[in-house]
Structure 1
Amino acid sequence: MKKNTLACLAFLSLTLTNKTFAQKADTVDVTNIKFKVEAAPEWSALLKRDSGWFGGDGIYTIPLNGRETGQAKANDKVLFIFSDSMIGAVRDNTTAPGAVMIHNAVAELKGNEPLDKQMKFYWDKNAKGEPESVFIPHTPNTGPTDYYWLGDGFVNQALNNNIYIFGYRVHNVSNEAFGFREVGNTLIKIPTNSKPPYKDLKQMDTPFYLMDKKGESGSFGAGIYVNTKEAGAPKPDGYIYVYGVRGMAKHMMVARVLPKDFENYSKWTFYDGKAWVSDMEQVANVTSSVSNELSFSPLPDGRYALIFQVGGMTTSVGMRIGASPVGPFGPIIKLWDCKPDLTAKTFVVYNAKAHPSLSKPGELLISYNINSVDFLNDLKKYPNLYRPRFIRVKFE
């Protein structure tokens, strides 16, 4: 009887909490906000390079001190993680012979200023001494031709300050529009104090890749919000929120877990639109038209900013205001038109996101990626096309 009574009380408490949570969220204005936006050319210039790493996408930034909210200090280090990256050199306004693409690379920036002397890039080398990806999938579910693109990551202060990064297992296919397909989701764990190229890392398959009845796939790891006191969150509830994206409509999903349980998949719960449930198949779409990489950040006024490329690959950097880590979310607010960066008709824009640890108080520094559908030919003509560009949003 006592166990049943306690269970009922716990259920009632959870129900009341969810109802109160929803009522408070419904009173938040998710439509109106005052801001100014401008280019951040000094940050764009930081990644315009002529040797070593000279191009890439998939940029996420991870403050290595674990303070996700608030600008990094002068002596702090911020880890940059990139997906497909060009390694080699640019000579006479074209790519020099020997340039190669690897599937991911990293860099470390000391401080919070875009100073080339404070930033160092890293990649691995194969047995022949040639550039190689830092992260190569080696899990039980890995196929022979799988490689990694990277999702978001963070420093888990509850688990020995290990770095956790989502790795999407991808392989090339001939019958897909873009020539590749995501086939699985993994966690990459980098031990604290490990140095690139992280020879002591651990990789773990996760169940966080899903396929619905319509054949549309989805995956978690597009963005992470560390809502803990230790990470500097303004309204901490102690959870790690992990955002996922699925389907052609770019629907966004939300999962959460306590930091100490991050590797225990049975402890993860998923937002079904009203409550947190253990069945991932019941996860709701909380908003749509986002991109496969995004960010979720607190705003100075207590609301939240979801930053993304509208619809995945349009020319607009977008923002939705959120009342809480699960919404409700307001309409798309277009922050920036990327068309001036499209030097050629073959150029495309994708995967905008914010970088709070590089942002001054009251601002968000935002990156977006430039690529080409005629990549190899355009790279010869525009050798620095393939790199992130940055803008700065100032909230009033």
Structure 2
Amino acid sequence: MNSSRPLTALAITALLASVGRGSVQAQPTPAELPGKPAPEWDAIFAREKGWTGADGCYSVELGAGRTLWLYSDTWVGTVAEGKHAKGSRLVNNSIGLQPAGENGKPPKHDSLEFYWGKPGKDGKPRAWIEPDLPPTDPQAAGKNWYWLLDGCMVNSPGGEKKLLVFLMHMGRKKEGGDGVFNFRMLGGALAVISNPIDDPSQWKISQAANPHSRRSGTDDISWATALYLSGREGPGEPGTLYIYGIRDVKGLNKQVVLARAPAARADDFSTWRFFNGKGWSGKSSDAVKITDEAVNEHTVERVSFGGRNHLVLVESQPVFGRHVLVRTAAKPEGPWSGLKKVFLVRDLENGEHKRFTYAGKGHAHLSAPGELLISYVINSHNFWDMVGDASIYRPRFIRVPLGAVFD
């Protein structure tokens, strides 16, 4: 197996975890943290053939009870004796389709279907979606690819359903380089699926570059790291898609910024407006921080508790921390509460191989009443540790009582 691509993937996952700076509020001891493992959900993604692991793990309601899972770097192949077997490959992204079921309960193991790209001329599997756009950065060298960010099902202006999947456009820093950090964000993009009710193998997909995502070297912004679609019950204005982004200022401090657009026209980037602290501006450069201590992957979930609707932001602890964190707000722009620890990830020691956790995400529409289902991923700083232990680098789940989120 060619290790140059997987090593790059591992380095990127390390980057996603190694973000943010600051302190988390004083919290209970680990024994008192409210999150509890959900092994019945873990088991759904423990697979030995085909799709055998991935990170990312956003979930999107497709309607009629169906859920779309969005993954970034993905193992495709077989698992033998607990290891990724010879011939297994890492592709840059994949998706999963979960049928309708009862909220709070996982589907049957064999009911999930996974999709990635058809084999190339070399016979090897490929990503579900590959760029058909030129890199936004003309200095980009060599291969470029997509990671999947958040997605959302919306109505088009004519009333038809369409699926939006936002993308992070990635590439190498230097052609021919083999360093594990030989990568960079090139910009953002959007995939629009015009027939999302059909089988994913029949989807009609168009791509468009996101002009609001930018890389300057000192003030990079990636949009759609989380989405929130406001309905009649709020919070927020009905029919509005709130689009969260991450501003990566120089250093390790990452900030959350916010845009909004009419949901039916959110794929028209000219309709986006950016929160400037007082109102909504048509200039993306006016976007201001709504909170910090952020990471590149997070979700914003609407939950009902205490007779009111609230928003909950879910993320993994920055800078290789060991905790899953939440913060809350009454409105999409905040003010947001301080971060609260809800779970300690313990399975991070494996002899000489140091592991880390990242990719914390909430899945409110799959949660049991009074709870929030949350996923996270464990990975290793050593690529061959990941190859040799297929039990990591796949989604793991916890259940968090809402009473503990809002106490």
TM-score range, shorter chain: 0.7 to 0.9
Where 1:303 maps in the other structure, the secondary structure is strand
Scaled by the length of structure 1, the TM-score of the pair is 0.83
Counterpart amino acid of 1:87?
A: V
Q: Do the aligned residues in 2 keep the contact of 1:35 with 1:395 (CA within 8 Å)?
A: no
Residue-by-residue CA offset, 1:125-160 (whole Å, 9 max, x unaligned): 224442111100101446651100010001012452
Q: Give the whole-Å Cα distance in 2 for the aligned partners of 1:233 and 1:195.
A: 31
Aligned match of 2:46 in 45, 48, 73? 48
What is the match of residue 202 of structure 1? 206
Q: Give the whole-Å Cα distance in 2 for the aligned partners of 1:148 and 1:111.
A: 28
Divergent runs of 4+, >6 A: none
Residue-by-residue CA offset, 1:165-222 (whole Å, 9 max, x unaligned): 111110133598733211110000112234334562100011121345x713121010
What is the match of residue 362 of structure 1? 370
Where 1:357 maps in the other structure, the secondary structure is helix
What is the match of residue 150 of structure 1? 148
Per-residue deviation at 1:260? 2.3
Q: Give the whole-Å Cα distance in 2 for the aligned partners of 1:388 and 1:354.
A: 12
1:291 is the counterpart of 2:295: yes
| Closer, same or farther: CA 177–275 of 1 in aligned 2, 3 Å | farther
Counterpart amino acid of 1:191?
A: S
Aligned match of 1:91 in 72, 76, 80? 80
What is the root-mean-square deviation of aligned Cα atoms in Å? 2.5
Counterpart amino acid of 2:181?
A: F
What is the match of residue 310 of structure 1? 317
| Closer, same or farther: CA 171–37 of 1 in aligned 2, 3 Å | same
| Greater Cα shift, 76-85 or 175-184 | 175-184
Larger Rg: 1
Q: Do the aligned residues in 2 keep the contact of 1:250 with 1:311 (CA within 8 Å)?
A: no
Q: Give the whole-Å Cα distance in 2 for the aligned partners of 1:184 and 1:125.
A: 25
What is the match of residue 277 of structure 1? 281
| Closer, same or farther: CA 54–254 of 1 in aligned 2, 3 Å | same
Where 1:379 maps in the other structure, the secondary structure is helix
What is the match of residue 19 of structure 1? none
1:132 is the counterpart of 2:135: no
Structure 2, unaligned runs of 5 or more: 1-24
**How many equivalent residue pairs?**
354
Where 2:110 maps in the other structure, the secondary structure is helix
- Pairing 1:203-352 to 2, within 5 Å after superposition: 203-211=207-215, 215-229=218-232, 233=234, 236-247=237-248, 248-301=252-305, 302-311=309-318, 313-343=320-350, 345-352=353-360
Q: Do the aligned residues in 1 keep the contact of 2:236 with 2:331 (CA within 8 Å)?
A: no
Q: Do the aligned residues in 1 keep the contact of 2:357 with 2:376 (CA within 8 Å)?
A: yes
Q: Give the whole-Å Cα distance in 2 for the aligned partners of 1:290 and 1:260.
A: 29
| Greater Cα shift, 101-110 or 171-180 | 171-180
Where 1:274 maps in the other structure, the secondary structure is coil
1:77 is the counterpart of 2:66: yes
Q: Give the whole-Å Cα distance in 1 for the aligned partners of 2:150 and 2:228.
A: 10
| Closer, same or farther: CA 341–44 of 1 in aligned 2, 3 Å | farther
Where 1:391 maps in the other structure, the secondary structure is strand
Q: Do the aligned residues in 1 keep the contact of 2:59 with 2:67 (CA within 8 Å)?
A: yes
| Closer, same or farther: CA 176–348 of 1 in aligned 2, 3 Å | same
Counterpart amino acid of 1:306?
A: L
- Pairing 1:158-169 to 2, within 5 Å after superposition: 158-159=156-157, 160-169=160-169
Scaled by the length of structure 2, the TM-score of the pair is 0.81
Per-residue deviation at 1:342? 4.3
| Closer, same or farther: CA 223–205 of 1 in aligned 2, 3 Å | same
Q: Give the whole-Å Cα distance in 2 for the aligned partners of 1:224 and 1:218.
A: 15
What is the match of residue 188 of structure 1? 191
| Closer, same or farther: CA 88–177 of 1 in aligned 2, 3 Å | closer
| Closer, same or farther: CA 199–132 of 1 in aligned 2, 3 Å | farther
Q: Do the aligned residues in 2 keep the contact of 1:352 with 1:366 (CA within 8 Å)?
A: yes
What is the match of residue 390 of structure 1? 397
Q: Do the aligned residues in 2 keep the contact of 1:249 with 1:311 (CA within 8 Å)?
A: no
- Pairing 1:102-121 to 2, within 5 Å after superposition: 102-112=91-101, 113-114=105-106, 115-121=108-114
| Greater Cα shift, 55-64 or 260-269 | 260-269
Q: Give the whole-Å Cα distance in 2 for the aligned partners of 1:130 and 1:39.
A: 35
Percent identity over the alignment is: 29
What is the match of residue 72 of structure 1? none
Where 1:83 maps in the other structure, the secondary structure is strand
1:37 is the counterpart of 2:44: no
Per-residue deviation at 1:258? 0.5
Q: Do the aligned residues in 2 keep the contact of 1:269 with 1:278 (CA within 8 Å)?
A: yes
| Greater Cα shift, 287-296 or 154-163 | 154-163
What is the match of residue 70 of structure 1? none
Q: Give the whole-Å Cα distance in 1 for the aligned partners of 2:83 and 2:367.
A: 33
Counterpart amino acid of 1:329?
A: W
| Closer, same or farther: CA 205–91 of 1 in aligned 2, 3 Å | same
What is the match of residue 16 of structure 1? none
| Closer, same or farther: CA 285–177 of 1 in aligned 2, 3 Å | farther
Where 1:299 maps in the other structure, the secondary structure is strand
Per-residue deviation at 1:280? 0.5
